[in-house]
Amino acid sequence: MAEITVKEIQEELRRGIEFYRELDGQILAFLNRLAETLEDKYELVRLKKPFAKDLRQSSVVQSYLLLMKPTGAEIESDEVDDDAETEDEDEVDTRDLAFAPDAKLPYVVVQMFGRVPKGAEGTATPPFIQYGTLAVMGRKDGKELQNPLRMRAGYYSGVFRNRMCNPRSSPPYTHKAHKGGPTLKFMEQSTAVQPLGSIRAESDIEELAKKVAELVGTQA
Amino acid sequence: MFQAILFHKLDESLLWKHEEDILTSDVFGAFKYLPAAYLNAWIVRLRERHPLLKPAFEMVCGLPDVKFWPQFHAAKESRETCEPDVVLTWGNLAVVIEAKLESHLEVQQLQVERESTKQASMAGGLVAEVIVVAVGRHRPAWWLHQRQSTEHWLAFSSWGTLADVFHATLAERRAIGVEPEEAALVDDILVRLKIRGVEPFGFGSLARRGPPSRPHFVPCEADRSTSVFPIHTSAPQVRLAEYWPPITNLRMSLLDLAKRAPVHEMTQLVIRKSPQCTSGFPGLVEVGRGVPKRFAQVWSLELKGSPTIEYCISAWRIAPDGRLAKVWQPLVRGVRSVGVRRARTKEPT
């Protein structure tokens, strides 16, 4: 074990904090630019602004998530006056999403560590970008799905935050649609990964947006 | 004002009512002093993203006439005046900029600004086309809902895009030789934006710098910690090689370290005893500090000596930055660590 002085430790601490703070900002900046491209060119609308997920028992950021609305989804806004619409996107968590049972649920996640999804092993190592779509497979109790499905947006992001980005979870992921609602089963429909290091310039973001749109099946 | 904020002489948060205006003034004011290449680069980005506005943006040529906060008669009965943040005019084209930092962009406000600018310009016999550019951190939530009715007159740019433009244009111009004054101004603007949490996109500088680990650091013995540490960077586990003063001064040493290191965001303390077989020292105690909602979980510091865990805890308890409750719980399962929750507690006598 090398011996270093307090001053060197302090310098190392400072560098460490600055480095990870900048990395944090850069990943969110990348996801924001990706969200803009997806909206502009492919009409893939984000559900809320990109956010980070921490590990529960530690302060380490595990994933950064950009969630798009399910294909063909409507956000029910009966409680919100359109004229007085607020900008606080976290408020979307308390609203309901209505979408068809066969809708695709698109996402882009930057995984700082964890395992590469099955079928994509060998294509990337952490940190990597995982993108694709989930699909609703049915209800856990076996009953028929309603059409349209109604899901509270906060619970919707929970599927990704707490299930898909949880190394201890494996598909099919189960999650409630809303408080007291039915438990739904979600399956990975299409998934792809690429190393985070492959994003170097804005053209790489455009390229990634194109790939995401192809997976979701939307055209420019 | 610009330099006062850059060098932290002036705390911008004290001017919270005007911080948006100050940033607008600093960033868009720079376009008055910089070569047209910077403004053109921004317009090109806007043009690419808003195809319906392409013909109008093609009227842009050279440096515009720039007006900050011009007052127009509002084209709305309920309001007397209308004051867009910036109006750039090139011949028959006026680009109205409404910049927001934390507050919300409202489509009605943007519409009134467009109509008021158009009325005022037409009264002067000047302008035929008016475009509004909304600038903000993120797109407003209503953006896509309103797109059909706004796409022929409204564009959006994030502050991040502006930072990208300044950064990329400077890099291009550096390659062909740039005046030092120009580079200094753009660098200052980028720092200015960074203060407000806006940075140009690019992992390049991070990749060049690399993560802050030293090759000779031994990986953290806690498996969980190493596995959760991002991009395979182990928390630097180091030993203080200096002699730690006797007990009465130990608190001061810890406190001093806490204050001088950038630990204002650290609210977790982890202490554990290292087994002699791994550390080579009997009774070695590690003191780690966690950074909540950040990457680094534990930056372990080993204290050479034999302070007890209880002593280290109490040392931190009486430190002003470490008002820690006496609630201990294992932070990492299977590892002899002690997590201490931050909470108000009585000062020990």
Residue of A nearest to B108 (CA): A83
* A25 neighbourhood in chain B, CB within 8 Å: 197, 199
Which of A14, A28, A40 has the most B C-beta neighbours within 10 Å, making it the best mutation to test the interface with B? A40
Tokens of A196: 């985070």
Residue of A nearest to B204 (CA): A200
* B262 neighbourhood in chain A, CB within 8 Å: 13-14, 17
What is the DSSP annotation of B153-175?
TEEEEEHHHHHHHHHHHHHHHHH
Ordered alpha helix ranges (H), chain A: 6-42, 153-158, 202-216
Q: How many CB pairs under 8 A join A and B?
A: 168
Q: Do the Cβ atoms of B212 and A45 come within 8 Å?
A: no
CA distance B195 to B24: 14
Query: pTM for the whole thing?
Result: 0.68
CA distance B277 to B221: 12
A12 in B contact zone (CB under 8 Å):
yes
CA distance B60 to B129: 12
**Residue A114 CA to its chain's centroid (Å):** 15
Q: Do the Cβ atoms of B241 and A5 come within 8 Å?
A: yes
Task: Using alpha carbons, list the distances in angstroms from residue B179 to B163, B176, B182, B186.
Answer: 20, 10, 5, 11
Q: Do the Cβ atoms of A58 and B331 come within 8 Å?
A: yes
CA distance A94 to A156: 11
Ranges A80-94, A121-135, B33-47, most confident: B33-47
- Indicate the SS3 state at residue B331: coil
Q: Do the Cβ atoms of A113 and B201 come within 8 Å?
A: no
The one-digit pLDDT tens for each residue of chain B (349 residues) are: 667 766 666 666 666 667 788 889 999 999 989 999 999 999 999 998 888 888 888 888 888 888 899 888 877 666 678 889 999 988 888 999 999 887 788 888 898 899 888 888 887 777 678 999 999 888 887 887 788 888 889 999 989 899 999 999 999 998 888 888 899 999 999 988 888 878 888 776 676 666 665 433 323 322 223 222 333 233 333 333 322 333 333 333 343 333 333 333 333 444 444 455 554 444 444 455 443 333 223 333 334 344 454 445 444 444 333 333 222 232 333 333 333 333 333 333 3
